[in-house]
Structures are given as C-alpha cells and as structure tokens.
Structure 1
C-alpha cells in the first residue's frame, strides 16, 4: 500500500530523499540510489501517507547491505513503528530492540490489524544519529463499504454471530471483509457483538442502509 505514496522525513542527507523507500526498488546497496538517509538528527523519522485508511497487517523494512557494522550499531537500532489515522495521531505498534544487521529484511507483524493511514518509523529518543533504510513496505487490506442488514429480508436465521466480540465498529467491518461470502454486517455498540450475513443464507442485504464508510 505504500508503493509510490507521498513520503516524508525529518531531514535529507545528500539527496537521499524519503521517496526512495517507497519506489519499489528493493536494492539494499547505496550505489543504486534506493535508500533514504536523514541528517544527524535528534528524533529522526521517516513516514508515509497511504492516502486512505486501511487495515494494516504488517510492515517490512530493508536495511543497507554495504555499510560498516559499526555504523549499524549507531544508526539502525531500536527502531519504533507508529501507525495513525492522521499525521498528528500516532500510536506505537512495533519495536525492534538493538541494532539491525546490514542487509536485513525485517517484518513488524501486528498482533491485530490496525486501521490507519499514516505509518512512521523512528528510533528511541536515546539514538541521535543519521537514519537510513532502503525500502518500507506496508501490507494492508483496503477499506470498503459495509452495510447494515435488513432483518426483514434476511429472515430469522440469516444472522451469524461472529465467534468473538469486536473491539469496535471498524473491527466488525473487518470481520465481514475477511469472511468468505459476507455481504453485510451490523455492530451492536452495547454488547460489542458483530453480526454478519453470509452467502449461504440465500438472501440479499439492503444496500440502501449503510453501516460505515471507511477511508
């Protein structure tokens, strides 16, 4: 989802701009102009705007393969992953403790999918150095429209209760998105139960009643 999207960083070192990390060039060599590089910054960061809210599943980063291990110890260590619905509402969801080896491809696997639009990578505040990575990939499920069920048409047995409670209306929508044959869902804000209509009921949803529009 990050491929070709607008990217930003705290500063730029010798033309190594933020966009290089989302250009699709997976080379981990500095000679291929495929890596971003900040100045010697306090709280150096890199971030990307995905353009819409999506359900983020995991984030993969690529480190340089041709630098001295000493610089890896200084620069590419204690990486923090943040995700937010906007540029000003970040929450931390990942952390890599210690130095990342050169040429490493590391994936931050999220415990639960996270609804977000902005992804930021930075380091612990104790790290004051240049920041550089070669590629950042954000894997996510696109958001979609989900509709409230018309119980009059669905019938008594058409509703299938999700196996567990949902944390939010967004998670309920996501359950429907990932359920094969789900045509619509409704979220009970009191019980936090998610109910969805599946194709094996042989009935249709009422698409004129929208439950939620994400993005």
Structure 2
C-alpha cells in the first residue's frame, strides 16, 4: 500500500490518500522485489539517495519526508533501477514532489527500458512532448514490455519521490521466467504466465503437452501428433499438415506420404508393378516377391513379361564370306 499525504497542522498530517490497492498492490515489482532490486543515480543532493524512490513513501515533499531521490544539477541527470531479471511490465507510475510546478524537477523527463547491461536504452516515454504541466503523478502504460532495467533521465536537476513498476503478462506465445519459454495454444490464445497451460486444452496443430510446448516427433504430424508421414531420404514432413519436402519414401504415396502402396505396386510413389505367384505380393519398397513370379513373368521384380522378353531377344551372328558379310537374325 502506498499513501500520499498533503499538508500539515502543527506537524500532524491532515489528509492522506491511498494510491495502490487491489491487483496493483500484488503486481508492484518494487514491493515484490524489496531487498533484491538495486538502484543508482548520477549524483546525490541533500542525502536524497537513489533507494528513497523505492521506499514505499511517495512524499509529498522531500524536505519534509526525506523520502525522495534527488540529484544535483547536471547536463543529464538520471536514476535507474535493476530488477535483477527481465519482467513483462504493464505500467510504471512515477511520483514527483508536491511542489513540482514550482521546481520542475521531474517534468520533461524520459523513461528508458532495456533487457541487459549491454543493450542500448530504448525510449518508451518522453514527457517533453506532452502538454500536461499540472500533474505530480505520471502513469505510463507499457503494454507488457519485457525489461530488466528502467532509467529516468532529464536535463538539470532530477527529483523522484517514488516509482512503482507493475508486472504484466508475457506476450502471447511465451511464459515462464523472463518469458523465455514458448507455448503454442490453438487460435493464438494466451497461456498461463507461470505454467504455460493454455486457456483452452487445445494446442496448435503439430504440438502437444500441457503447455503445448512439445513438438511432434520425426515422421509425426497433425492434431495431437496423431498422424504419420513417410518422406524420402532423411527428410520429414511439416508438423502441422504433414507435407514432405520431396518424394515419398519407397512404398508410400499420397499428399502426406502415409498411404501404403496397394498390392502389386511398389517403389517411389508406387509407380512400379510386380506380379508374384499365388496370393503373394512383393515388398512395398523394393518390389521383391516372397516366392516365384506369376506365370508369364520374370525378373528381379517379376515385372518383365516372358513373351515380350523373347520378342526382344535378338541373336545377331556375323560371318565373313569372301569379303562379304552374312547376317543371320534369329528370333528365339
């Protein structure tokens, strides 16, 4: 709970108002991370140190409460807080001193966010572009930006009486610590911020698991990974609709390469035929019959007709006779 108090009679506060309640009180990272977060600032005036801006007391005046952070005059003055790790930030609320209109030690500030100490600050709010000059509380909505560091800066003197940083939700499709894990819920629905469980128990096609974060195994696709595909070579199909990048594996055909060649067919896309004896059929991949070929057929795959083979078997004999050539062609 944060309170801001205004005015005094004989050193007694005569008016206080609550500033944080309900859900906001539960999601204020400044309160949640007390003792963990770290603050720093460009300089210190009147012992108004950087940690005063996160002490839970919003003022109203630093000279009375000694609860605000303030710098000396600098070309650029800044104050920063390190949350320890990245959080999705829904909103930041910044409180100035009660006499801000007189001193102007927060107006015109800029708010920067970043994820790591190496990353360049990203500007998310620029008060110098606003026309509002009669306010001491600045609510800045940040749409669940993922950030670890928040920095406030302005030219001249900077005085901040309190800052509150409210935790939001991970962006759609992410969950877990620092929103670093992915969930794949159907219809792009959100998943639980901490467990990743989808708001409806349905995953995107090609994903399974409570958090819909387990990809279909190789050669599996579809809803609940319940379909199989058989692609040629070392390739596999897409996990959603089971499309192979090239041909089907020998012995299979179809849009998803999951239909077995009918009896008497084999090979790539079942384009080859075999004729096995009796009720036998050849292997779907290489076309090998388990026994003899059907009468009238021969060959490794039992797909060469004997009659056709004889008609195509030509015996050509060349005999030299007195400088001439005698050619005898025999059909066997």
- TM-score scaled by length of structure 2: 0.44
* Structure 1 residues 129-172: Cα deviation after superposition (integer angstroms, max 9, x where no partner): 211010011111376154667xxxxxxxxx51217xxxxxxxxx
Map 1:202-213; keep pairs closer than 5 Å: 204-205=209-210
* Pair 1:118-2:123 in alignment: no
RMSD: 3.2
Q: Which runs of 5+ in 1 are unaligned?
A: 150-158, 164-174, 184-196, 211-215
Q: Please, which of 176, 180, 183 is the counterpart of residue 191 of structure 2?
A: 176
Change (3 A) 1:94 1:148: closer
Match of 1:167 in 2: none
Question: Which residue is 2:46 aligned to?
Answer: 14
Deviates more, 1:95-104 or 1:83-92: 95-104
**Could you tell me how far apart the structure 2 residues matched to 1:208 and 1:109 are?**
30
- Between the aligned partners of 2:202 and 2:187, the Cα distance in structure 1 is 13
Change (3 A) 1:139 1:107: same
Q: List gaps (5 residues or longer) in structure 2.
A: 1-28, 170-174, 216-332
- The alignment status of 1:25 with 2:57, answered yes or no, reads yes
Give the Cα–Cα distance (whole angstroms) in 1 for the partners of residues 158 and 132 of structure 2. Answer: 12
| Counterpart residue number, 1:108 | 140
Q: Which has the larger radius of gyration?
A: 2
Match of 2:161 in 1: 134
Q: Which has the higher contact order (CA 8 A, sep 6+)?
A: 1
- Partner Cα separation in structure 1 for residue 165 and residue 117 of structure 2: 16
- In structure 1, how many angstroms separate the alpha carbons of the residues matched to 2:213 and 2:87? 23
Measure the CA separation in 1 of the matches of 2:160 and 2:124: 19
Higher percent of residues as strand: 1
Aligned residues: 168
Partners in 1 of 2:201 and 2:65 — Cα distance? 52
Q: Secondary structure at the match of 2:58?
A: coil
Check the 8 A contact 2:183/2:211 in 1, yes or no.
Answer: yes
Q: Which residue of 2 aligns with 1:95?
A: 126
- 1:151-190 to 2 correspondences below 5 Å: 160-162=186-188, 175-177=190-192, 183=197
CA distance in 2, matches of 1:35, 1:206: 44
- 2:107 corresponds, among 54, 58, 77, to 77
Asked whether the equivalents of residues 86 and 148 of structure 2 are also in contact (C-alpha less than 8 Å), the reply is: yes
Find the residue that maps to 1:44 and give its secondary structure: strand
Normalised by the length of structure 1, the TM-score is 0.66
Q: Deviations over 1:4-28 (max 9, x none)?
A: 3211100001210000001111222
Q: Kindly tell me: are residues 9 and 81 of structure 1, through their superposed partners in 2, closer, same or farther at Cα, counting changes over 3 Å?
A: same
8 Å CA contact retained: 1:39, 1:131 = yes
